[in-house]
Structure 1
Amino acid sequence: MIQQIEARLEAKLFDRDTRKARLTPAGECLYPLALRIVQEYEKAFAEYDEFAAGRRGVVRISALPSLAAMLLPGVIACFRQHHPDVDLDIREDIGAPVYQGLLDRVTDIGLAPPPQSSDDLRYKPLLRDEVVLVVRRDDPLARTKSQDWSILADREFVTTSRETGLRAMIDHALQEAGVQAEPLLSSKQPATVGSLVHAKVGIGVLSRLTLAQLDSSSLVGVPLRGPVVARSLGVVTHIGRSLSPAARLLLAEIEKQAGNLSALLNAPGSQRR
């Protein structure tokens, strides 16, 4: 190795005799440079070891607002206890932007319903989110065990706007039930729907997850029957993209916390809040 370096530099690095070797002026010049290279080498592999152990890196997540609000806070709190140096980037989107971010490789993990059609995306279900009627706690409907979709033809109602996946489910359920009804008002934000119900503008239609997101003691959810409508929510990843060690660890925490959230949403009486 020394001979190769000397040949490359066309300079002698050591003066040698029968008992010891001493650095030549060229060797003395090269020594601090070589020492710096060794230190940088060791530093680089130490940094990689941190990355490989999932203690460093960047994980980018795109999630439905309801999942971002109800699932991710607990996930992040637990994850950061053990991985404080991992940078997390959270983006809230509805519908297609979640999937497009994965396809464009600008996000690592998506939290959304299953993609309708894509050979490049992988979906793993995490929880079931049922559509419910949202009413004020002092509304007589709050004391009923369930309601048919026909209640929406009898009472003015508010719900989410057409660009949301939830609205498509509601419109399909009304069609399946043979009910002709249009919302009085619609909003992209579930919080606005909840506020309209609270203000007695009308009854509402949301999912259990979005109702829980409102964290309002004045509103309750009543199951809707004939048909029962629910959506699957889960993890979406790109089939052709490997997740980093940190992303895999975060995904494990997401799956753990989702199990707890699913149990809470589907517990008997949970819609009564």
Structure 2
Amino acid sequence: MRIDLQTDEILAFLAVAEKSSFKAAAEELFVSQPALSRRIERLESALGSQLFERTTRRVSLTQAGRQFLPHAQAAMEELELAIRGISETSIQRGGMVTLACVPTVANHLVPSVLKEFAAKFPKARVKVIDEGAAQVLESVVAGIADFGINFIGAQESDIEFEGVYQENFVLAVPRRHSLARQASVSWDELAEESFISVGGTSGNRTLIDHALAKLKKRPAIRYEANHIAGAMGLVAAGLGVAAVPSLALFGDAYPTLTGLPLTGPRISRTIGLIHRKGSKLHPTAQALFGMVKKAMSSRKPKPAAGH
């Protein structure tokens, strides 16, 4: 004979057996007491036996309830192990993870994380969308990317933004430049410099323009590049100076450049992880998400002075 038992009915039975109270069990399961009672009634009907003795003072197991208890516990434990095993198998099999990321982070942090990820999940495939902040946000909102690393998105109603660290913008200059000897540089001092900027659609450009909107003296843009990496290349070629996130100067990619703190005003951005609200990452994506978050938390940029 096949007995039709529902998981929520067994969980209700275990909760009441543990708490010896319908009220406490209902609170534990976040259901109403009538709903909990209906689950127990359906279970008792399916088993053909009463499982609880109910009095005004307490709830206790009947002989049938005591007999059923270890089997119910074992069944739920086996189900949990089965689900966990399937999830772990799914991760080991691989799967495709799409990560959207602003270029500065993609260039300086993501490669080392992916190297570690590949060692743990050799069969997984990863696609990195290294684009500007607006494109990264759009990729996550549209579901093209599983999650993203960005400095915008906190104001989006459909996006969960987990800020991890804040980094300042610094002035990238050649080490032989006259400004390189200074401890810091104010924006007023850049009025006569050959200034290199990212394009007008860049999220970084938006941050800078907004911060400098009230300044009377602003640097005149002589060269413009689509991305930070392009601007850094122009600075390295001796064509001018550029305001860039401090992370852009990490590592050995630009040994001839240094970064100077910018003042009057200081400009910063908050780097965080973004994902769609209400969506659950599949196991492989969740594993990479956790590794990226851990790496970002342990590698927060420091002031760039003296770089």
Do residues 254 (structure 1) and 297 (structure 2) align? no
C-alpha RMSD over aligned residues: 2.4
The match for 1:167 is 205
Do residues 64 (structure 1) and 113 (structure 2) align? no
Q: Distance in 2 between matches of 1:116 and 1:226?
A: 26
Q: Distance in 1 between matches of 2:257 and 2:265?
A: 23
The match for 1:92 is 130
Q: Distance in 2 between matches of 1:121 and 1:197?
A: 35
Per the normalisation by structure 2, the TM-score is 0.68
Aligned partners of 1:69 and 1:213 also within 8 Å: no
Aligned partners of 1:146 and 1:224 also within 8 Å: yes
Do residues 272 (structure 1) and 279 (structure 2) align? no
Aligned partners of 2:202 and 2:227 also within 8 Å: no
1:44-59 equivalences in 2 (<5 Å): 48-52=86-90, 56-59=94-97
Counterpart selection for 2:218 from 169, 176, 180: 180
| AA partner of residue 130 (structure 2) | E
Give the C-alpha shift of residue 134 in structure 1. 1.2
Aligned partners of 2:92 and 2:123 also within 8 Å: no
Q: Distance in 2 between matches of 1:213 and 1:75?
A: 15
- Aligned in 2, Cα 1:197/1:103: closer, same or farther, shift over 3 Å? closer
Q: Distance in 1 between matches of 2:84 and 2:260?
A: 55
Can you list the C-alpha shifts for 1:224-264, whole angstroms capped at 9, x where unaligned?
011111001110000121111221211111011112321xx
**Aligned-partner SS, 1:162:** coil
- Aligned in 2, Cα 1:199/1:53: closer, same or farther, shift over 3 Å? closer
The match for 2:239 is 201
1:30-179 equivalences in 2 (<5 Å): 48-52=86-90, 56-115=94-153, 117-179=155-217
The match for 2:44 is none
Structure 1: give runs of 5+ residues left out of the alignment. Answer: 2-44
Give the C-alpha shift of residue 54 in structure 1. 5.8
Counterpart selection for 1:236 from 258, 274, 277: 274
| AA partner of residue 150 (structure 2) | A
Give the C-alpha shift of residue 46 in structure 1. 11
Q: Distance in 2 between matches of 1:151 and 1:211?
A: 21
Aligned partners of 1:129 and 1:207 also within 8 Å: yes
Q: Distance in 2 between matches of 1:200 and 1:57?
A: 45
Q: Which has the higher contact order (CA 8 A, sep 6+)?
A: 1
The match for 1:19 is none
Structure 2: give runs of 5+ residues left out of the alignment. Answer: 2-82
Do residues 215 (structure 1) and 249 (structure 2) align? no
The match for 2:43 is none
Q: Distance in 2 between matches of 1:99 and 1:194?
A: 24
The percent identity for this pair of structures is 26
| AA partner of residue 306 (structure 2) | R
Can you list the C-alpha shifts for 1:105-154, whole angstroms capped at 9, x where unaligned?
12111111131632111000122221111111011211111111112212
The match for 1:10 is none
Per the normalisation by structure 1, the TM-score is 0.75
The match for 1:6 is none
**Aligned-partner SS, 1:142:** helix
Q: Distance in 1 between matches of 2:259 and 2:250?
A: 9
